[in-house]
């Protein structure tokens, strides 16, 4: 992250983890020459402001072609992109190639969202409840205008310059000013160049995406009067600072931030009894994937007290102890991890389950995975403890509970999360039914018998939660519905169809408008788009 944050992170795709490479360069070396599209804040925002009406004028079909061209450009340059990103992040070329594939697929997904058209929310009213006709009222969603995107350190592609925030904003018709990430500036520059080449090749202005760099630029960017919204993936501290800046503007703008999340994984008694080894594998994956540097990492693992929970814990401890030590993304993340694990281990009632030699002092040295344990009473008695906060990296706290009441009380003490997991068998059914509403009340996604980090990107994806997991629990930062963040409603009352966009020229029996081009509602009745049925 740029700006004041110290621990950026982003969602984990359902892709192979692969080996970590390293050591990472971990340098903020300046560019040898300013990349095309990298400007000072005033110039960057002025350029996207001029581009905004042109991007909107491309229409759904033109923007769909634009996104497809951008996906193709990234994929064509994937080898160079992955190699450069590996030099800067130490995430490993296989992991990064898979991430580029996800990023390209994400761009194409939003092309399909545009083609389908229901995201516009078109609705037409022509009659009152008593059947009396009146001049049609037509409502739909339009682009907000230029937006800023602050990407993440741990997903340089899927949550970077070409990531989900950028893809969804461009789909909506909003040009983007991206904030270069200091952990991978060369990767940002290469991605920016690919997007701008693709834009001109698709008949769009290159300035549909521009970029700024530097701590101060991030602050000035969110204050720019040209901007209409901000997307952010990073730490609670950094995100909250930018959120407050957005709210303090003379004309406040929405800030869509994905921040910190502990993501509890709950194992019920029958599941612990019947499959301890399998559970240990799933839980280990939830903690160790990409070195624990994902915002969907399970940071709290709830196990029942007794022999069955002990068996799961023994198998899990062995897996964590045997795991490779990852190189973390940058020096500040590494320092926070070393300090955070030591702070947690020193707390009363906390026991260290994995014993390792101390981490080295060089910023490029790998760090040991850490597994801690405590009782549910510890969380109940001090709900504001650091134990209930995210520890970014390969660390997790195992929480032992006596019974359902003990478990429920501990879960109630937690802040909202992006995701939670419930591991249960048939004989756990009654307890599972009772817990599901509680888990859903505090998380944007509830996973059944699987790892928390398996986020699939599609039409049903939800990636958000209550604060501090995100700043707006009513939205998602990943998946088709993410486009809604960059849109606002406008209604036309009595305006003749000939003056309206094609999507609003619906046949309503009142003014002779042509056939509809997108799914819509007519007097409350849903009607499909062309070539579709209501089935």
The strands making up 123-127's β-sheet, listed across from edge to edge, are 487-493, 133-143, 123-127, 520-522, 525-527
Terminal CA-CA length for the chain: 45
- In a 3-state reduction of DSSP, which class is residue 97? helix
- Which residues of 96-132 form beta strands (DSSP E)? 123-127
Q: How do the residues of the chain divide into helix, strand and coil, expressed in percent and rounded to 5?
A: 40, 15, 40
Candidate list 295, 391, 395, 453, residue with the active-site label: 295
List Cα–Cα distances, 2 to 64, 153, 155, 212, 320, in angstroms.
30, 9, 14, 10, 32
Contact 166, 8 (CB under 8 A): no
- Which residues of 331-459 form beta strands (DSSP E)? 351-352, 370-375, 395-401, 417-423, 443-448
Strand partners, 399: 302, 374
CA atoms of 149 and 49, how far apart (whole Å): 15
Determine if residue 512 is left, alpha or beta; phi over 0 gives left, psi from -120 to 50 gives alpha, anything else beta: left
If we measure between CA atoms, which residue out of 333, 249, 427 comes closest to residue 6? Answer: 333
If we measure between CA atoms, which residue out of 485, 318, 489, 293 comes closest to residue 392? Answer: 293
Candidate list 99, 180, 258, 503, residue with the active-site label: 258
CA atoms of 180 and 210, how far apart (whole Å): 10
CA atoms of 189 and 376, how far apart (whole Å): 47
Q: Which residue in this structure is represented by tokens 């939205």?
A: 475
- In a 3-state reduction of DSSP, which class is residue 174? coil
CA atoms of 519 and 118, how far apart (whole Å): 5
Q: Is 420 a catalytic residue?
A: no
Virtual torsion, Cα 490, 495, 496, 501, nearest 10 deg:
-20
CA atoms of 502 and 436, how far apart (whole Å): 44
CA atoms of 79 and 310, how far apart (whole Å): 45
List Cα–Cα distances, 58 to 158, 486, 488, 490, 518, in angstroms.
25, 17, 18, 19, 17
* Alpha-carbon 85 to chain mean position: 19
Q: Is 258 a catalytic residue?
A: yes
Contact 323, 394 (CB under 8 A): yes
If we measure between CA atoms, which residue out of 275, 322, 330, 297 comes closest to residue 397? Answer: 297
Q: What is the DSSP string of 240-299?
A: HHHHHHHHHSSS---EEEE-----EEEE-HHHHHH-HHHHHHHHHHHHHGGGG-STT---
Catalytic residues: 258, 295
């Amino acid at each position: 992250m740029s700006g004041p944050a110290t621990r950026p992170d982003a969602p984990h795709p359902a892709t192979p983890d692969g080996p970590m490479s390293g050591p990472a360069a971990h340098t903020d070396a300046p560019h040898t020459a300013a990349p095309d599209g990298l400007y000072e804040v005033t110039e960057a925002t002025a350029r996207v402001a001029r581009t905004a009406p042109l991007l909107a004028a491309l229409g759904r079909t033109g923007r769909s072609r634009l996104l497809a061209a951008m996906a193709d450009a990234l994929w064509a340059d994937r080898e160079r992109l992955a190699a450069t990103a590996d030099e800067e992040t130490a995430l490993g070329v296989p992991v990064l190639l898979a991430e580029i594939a996800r990023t390209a697929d994400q761009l194409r997904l939003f092309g399909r969202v545009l083609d389908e058209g229901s995201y516009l929310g078109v609705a037409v009213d022509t009659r009152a409840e008593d059947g009396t006709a009146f001049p049609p009222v037509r409502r739909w969603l339009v682009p907000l205008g230029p937006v800023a995107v602050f990407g993440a350190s741990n997903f340089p592609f899927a949550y970077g310059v070409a990531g989900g925030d950028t893809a969804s904003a461009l789909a909506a018709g909003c040009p983007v000013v991206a904030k270069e990430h200091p952990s991978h500036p060369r990767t940002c520059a290469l991605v920016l160049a690919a997007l701008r080449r693709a834009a001109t090749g698709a008949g769009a202005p290159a300035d549909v995406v521009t970029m700024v760099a530097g701590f101060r630029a991030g602050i000035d960017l969110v204050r720019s009067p040209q901007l209409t919204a901000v997307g952010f993936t990073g730490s609670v501290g950094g995100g909250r600072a930018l959120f407050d800046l957005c709210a303090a503007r003379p004309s406040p703008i929405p800030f869509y931030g994905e921040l910190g999340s502990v993501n509890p994984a709950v194992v019920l008694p029958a599941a612990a009894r019947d499959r301890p080894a399998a559970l240990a594998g799933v839980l280990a994956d939830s903690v160790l994937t990409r070195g624990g540097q994902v915002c969907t990492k399970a940071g709290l693992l709830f196990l029942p007290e007794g022999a069955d929970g002990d068996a799961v814990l023994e198998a899990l401890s062995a897996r964590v102890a045997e795991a490779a030590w990852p190189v973390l993304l940058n020096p500040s993340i590494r320092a926070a991890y070393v300090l955070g694990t030591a702070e947690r281990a020193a707390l009363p009632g906390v026991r260290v389950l994995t014993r390792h030699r101390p981490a080295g002092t060089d910023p490029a040295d790998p760090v040991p995975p850490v597994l801690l344990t405590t009782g549910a009473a510890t969380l109940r008695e001090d709900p504001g403890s650091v134990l209930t906060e995210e520890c970014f990296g390969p660390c997790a706290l195992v929480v032992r509970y006596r019974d359902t009441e003990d478990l429920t009380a501990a879960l109630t003490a937690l802040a909202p999360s992006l995701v939670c997991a419930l591991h249960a068998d048939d004989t756990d059914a009654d307890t599972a039914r009772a817990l599901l509403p509680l888990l859903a009340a505090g998380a944007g996604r509830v996973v059944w018998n699987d790892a928390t980090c398996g986020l699939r990107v599609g039409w049903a994806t939800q990636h958000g939660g209550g604060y501090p997991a995100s700043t707006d629990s009513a939205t998602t930062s990943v998946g088709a519905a993410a486009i809604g963040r960059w849109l606002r409603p406008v209604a036309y009352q009595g305006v003749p169809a000939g003056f309206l966009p094609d999507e609003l020229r619906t046949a309503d029996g009142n003014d002779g408008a042509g056939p509809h081009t997108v799914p819509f509602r007519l007097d409350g009745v849903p009607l499909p788009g062309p070539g579709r049925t209501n089935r």
